[in-house]
Chains A and B, each alone.
Chain A
């Protein structure tokens, strides 16, 4: 295990973290070679589904790094980043991939030394976790595929994007929502979306019964049945055939 060299993707915002990474170079702060940086204008650009997609492709770790809260060059982009990374993290947990493979860091343009420390510590953290299990476990890959779809869903996107406003300025009636309550709402919505996406992913190639799906997903049958009913109503899932007395469902390609 000691010679395991993880590959880690790091997203850096142009204004703070990329500049901080440059400063680490100018100051010759050394750090492990395992990271591959991708520059974006603002860390807010990184949707949860991009992070999850990279895990699906076999990244050992992903880091998103932006300006410190309050220092964002796009006013408050990093507040959204925080929420998006959290969404990715929660979905990662649902799939069973270690959430320690994902990290959010704030690194300013002046923090060259800190950047090298952050990278060193994250590389070590990922090394300790070992190589990503995703490439060897097709079930995990399927679950990540569902997580990507869940992250792209209308509900998770609107909920994560509206949080800053609803828990800050408030809604149209100027009611400010309790952030803890909002967290709970999001958590439940994400789990819901993930399960629905997983049903669609699992029944994409092969028709499945509710019982099979429940067993595969480790969830109670009645809950899966609720999802199946909802998905059918949206024309995203359809009855494929009946085996004996058991109906089998298949995902509708192209969905609603």
Chain B
């Protein structure tokens, strides 16, 4: 093939006016025809539309094209489509090149049509230079061990395990603790309907335990994993007892832990200053002290205070707890154990009448001199204040909860990061000194309890798991998916998937969806029975290789080993084609199949041609 005459076909997309509005596409097309080895060049209104794809398919046959270049949007979204068309027309998909003249040209040079057109010509010259050096690649087929391991027995992990098992594949579910359930075990209720968290959890756990395809490993950890998609050798350690196992795919659902706000808002100075999760625990155990006022402080240690991100769920959790207290407080506080259902409902009904509500507003205005008085107008004799930077009650139901909470006289007091509420403990009494943004004045309140809403954070062992499985974690320690939108539960490494709170704060609904999503992705190789990794891999020229082993040290995926001859050898299925070994090899014996020095230099040098004249 390499000796054959090169016949390059170029297809330039107008993308409606997205490209053609800012780049002179006819001029670029004419220019491309003058480039070496280009035997055919055309332009389409939309290359990705049916007629555009047909034109590629037919031109490959008609002009005997053996290289195809498409200049359009971005390979990140559209390369697979065009590669598929090439393949249909009998052209190896690795003989295709994408040139980005929209996202990285027409859209970013909207006021400079002439220069943008020059740039588009350069980019095409580069693409054609690259296309000339492309070689067809064979994708190796590798068999798959028909089994999965799910690491983490929380809601996400159990959902994933159930879904994989229901599709007929054996699953090992590995949980570090002695019980299933994960983070949710600590919670009293779930939002929005405030159902008992325990019973929700129990229904999932029962299904897991009753599923014959799921093998459960409690008090266990996966301590080693070697291999690649379809073929992982793992070790499951149960209290020192090791079991060696083979699986085809790995699902990570290692969960989260709550941020402990050491040194923030008097945490640790009083048993009545607790985190949101500790509060849930007190509610669950019915151990809340009697109280007449309670304050929630949102974003503790989040959004720049220590952790950078917003933990998403805490606003909804605080609102849920506030509503629970407002509507149900005697029951929640264990004041009236018997007949609580009837007792609790009546006195705390929201004032439905307009008159009542108006009175409430007047009352609030009137109570400006002391916040303590403000709540006496509310149904329950319990003052509830949520100090917040802004309430993130995202989603359909949550906004309603937010509105209801306001009707129930849950006070939402804003603070700014520059003016944080100050908490002090004076003789066991809690005091919050805060600046009221609306009233523009300093205020004080003495709640009986302060609940600090802290973010969910990455597990301490996330880094170790990241090292073991060779999957990345982001700056905040959460696992990092391959693409936030297009591949949200995949890792860049094939065969390993991620779901639940180990990839960022999520609520139960999201954890379940992600668990099922990860399971559906993980079942693809299992159901197909083989994997066909992209042929981006490194290739070692064993005549040149001196066996120094430097490449083995740098390979992030342990995809290179020394063979019997003492030379480096690449395990094609494990190689992801990053090129670290290619740039490393001191003997220049490693060649990257699709990104060789020669190809990269040809592409880059083509950009400079005009400069040299």
Q: How far is the CA of A45 from the CA of B577 in the complex (A)?
A: 9
Per-residue CB proximity of A73-85 to B under 8 Å, as 1/0?
Answer: 1111100100010
A21-29, A197-205, A207-215, A218-226: which lies at the interface: A21-29
- Beyond the given A45-B579, A74-B578, please list 14 additional residue pairs across the A-B interface where CB-CB is below 8 A: A21-B104, A25-B74, A28-B110, A36-B119, A41-B595, A44-B579, A47-B597, A53-B601, A54-B605, A57-B608, A57-B612, A59-B611, A70-B475, A161-B550
Instruction: Tell me if A122 is interfacial: C-beta within 8 Å of chain B.
Output: no
Instruction: Tell me if B576 is interfacial: C-beta within 8 Å of chain A.
Output: yes
CB-based contact A9/B607 at 8 Å: yes
| 9 nearest CB pairs, A to B | A45-B579, A25-B103, A36-B607, A25-B107, A42-B578, A74-B578, A157-B586, A75-B556, A47-B583
Interface of A is mostly: mixed
The 7 sampled A-B contact pairs (Cβ below 8 Å) are A22-B76, A25-B108, A33-B109, A33-B119, A54-B605, A58-B608, A153-B586
CB-based contact A161/B554 at 8 Å: yes
Residue of A nearest to B476 (CB): A70
Given A41-B576, A54-B605, A152-B588, also A80-B107 (CB < 8 A)? no
Q: How far is the CA of A7 from the CA of B253 in the complex (A)?
A: 47
CB-based contact A84/B472 at 8 Å: no
Given A9-B607, A45-B583, also A74-B576 (CB < 8 A)? yes
Instruction: Tell me if B102 is interfacial: C-beta within 8 Å of chain A.
Output: yes
Would you give the shortest CB distance from A219 to chain B, in whole angstroms? 26
> Which residues of A are found within 8 Å of B116, using beta-carbon distances?
33
Residue of A nearest to B77 (CB): A22
Per-residue CB proximity of A1-25 to B under 8 Å, as 1/0?
Answer: 0000101010100110011011011
Given A9-B604, A41-B577, A54-B604, also A74-B584 (CB < 8 A)? no
Instruction: Tell me if A173 is interfacial: C-beta within 8 Å of chain B.
Output: no
Would you give the shortest CB distance from B192 to chain A, in whole angstroms? 30
In chain A between 60 and 108, which residues have their CB closer than 8 angstroms to a CB of chain B? 60, 68, 70-77, 80, 84
Q: How far is the CA of A21 from the CA of B193 in the complex (A)?
A: 44
Q: How far is the CA of A18 from the CA of B79 in the complex (A)?
A: 14
Q: How far is the CA of A71 from the CA of B472 in the complex (A)?
A: 7
Q: How far is the CA of A246 from the CA of B577 in the complex (A)?
A: 52
Would you give the shortest CB distance from A18 to chain B, in whole angstroms? 7
Q: How far is the CA of A21 from the CA of B584 in the complex (A)?
A: 27
Given A36-B123, A75-B472, also A22-B554 (CB < 8 A)? no
Instruction: Tell me if A38 is interfacial: C-beta within 8 Å of chain B.
Output: yes
Q: How far is the CA of A26 from the CA of B76 in the complex (A)?
A: 13
Instruction: Tell me if B365 is interfacial: C-beta within 8 Å of chain A.
Output: no
Would you give the shortest CB distance from A7 to chain B, in whole angstroms? 5
Instruction: Tell me if B470 is interfacial: C-beta within 8 Å of chain A.
Output: yes
In chain B between 102 and 128, which residues have their CB closer than 8 angstroms to a CB of chain A? 102-105, 107-112, 115-116, 118-119, 122-123, 126
CB-based contact A44/B475 at 8 Å: no
Q: Which residue in A57, A80, A158 is a CB contact (below 8 Å) of B586? A: A158
Instruction: Indicate the size class of the contact surface on chain B.
Output: 35 or more
Instruction: Tell me if A188 is interfacial: C-beta within 8 Å of chain B.
Output: no
Instruction: Tell me if A129 is interfacial: C-beta within 8 Å of chain B.
Output: no
Q: Which residue in A14, A26, A29, A44 is a CB contact (below 8 Å) of B583? A: A44
Instruction: Tell me if A39 is interfacial: C-beta within 8 Å of chain B.
Output: yes
Q: How far is the CA of A11 from the CA of B599 in the complex (A)?
A: 13
Would you give the shortest CB distance from A33 to chain B, in whole angstroms? 4
- Name A residues whose Cβ lies closer than 8 Å to a Cβ of B: 5, 7, 9, 11, 14-15, 18-19, 21-22, 24-26, 28-31, 33, 36-42, 44-47, 49-50, 53-54, 57-60, 68, 70-77, 80, 84, 109-110, 116, 135, 152-155, 157-158, 161-162, 164-165
Given A33-B115, A41-B577, A45-B582, also A73-B492 (CB < 8 A)? yes
Given A38-B126, A71-B472, A71-B480, also A84-B577 (CB < 8 A)? no
> Which residues of B are found within 8 Å of A162, using beta-carbon distances?
550, 553
> Which residues of B are found within 8 Å of A73, using beta-carbon distances?
472, 480, 482, 492
Q: How far is the CA of A149 from the CA of B586 in the complex (A)?
A: 12
Instruction: Tell me if B587 is interfacial: C-beta within 8 Å of chain A.
Output: yes
Q: How far is the CA of A25 from the CA of B23 in the complex (A)?
A: 14
> Which residues of B are found within 8 Å of A11, using beta-carbon distances?
604
> Which residues of B are found within 8 Å of A40, using beta-carbon distances?
579, 595, 600
In chain B between 495 and 531, which residues have their CB closer than 8 angstroms to a CB of chain A? none
Would you give the shortest CB distance from A152 to chain B, in whole angstroms? 6
> Which residues of A are found within 8 Å of B458, using beta-carbon distances?
none
CB-based contact B107/A157 at 8 Å: no
Q: Which residue in B74, B483, B553 is a CB contact (below 8 Å) of A161? A: B553
Q: How far is the CA of A24 from the CA of B600 in the complex (A)?
A: 24
> Which residues of A are found within 8 Å of B105, using beta-carbon distances?
25
Q: How far is the CA of A57 from the CA of B607 in the complex (A)?
A: 10
